[in-house]
Amino acid sequence: MIGNPVTLVRIPNQRLFGTKAAARYLGLHEQTLRKLTAEGVLPSRRLGSRRVYLLEELDCFIATLPSWYGSNAVPGQKGAADG
């Protein structure tokens, strides 16, 4: 085999997500998603009485997360290896 194996990514067939589905897609708790929306970090739309999230905007949010997100490193702080 030449090169690396190809990883298949499952793309959702829906374009709009309710709060619960959007939180699941992002791997967040619903309350965290609501907080990010209220702070203006993550855009949403109103569809009648429902709040919905566009797939493209969810993906954009993921793409703009800082590279340190989820790691033990704190931005701006020197680690033990940094001296």
Question: Under a CB-based contact definition with an 8 Å cutoff, are residues 52 and 16 in contact?
Answer: yes
Model-level pTM? 0.65
In this model, does residue 82 exceed pLDDT 50? no
Q: Which of 22-26, 47-51, 66-70 has the lowest mean pLDDT?
A: 66-70
> How sure is the predictor about 65, in pLDDT bands with cuts at 50, 70 and 90?
confident
In this model, does residue 66 exceed pLDDT 80? yes
In this model, does residue 55 exceed pLDDT 70? yes
Q: H or E stretch including 60?
A: helix 55-63
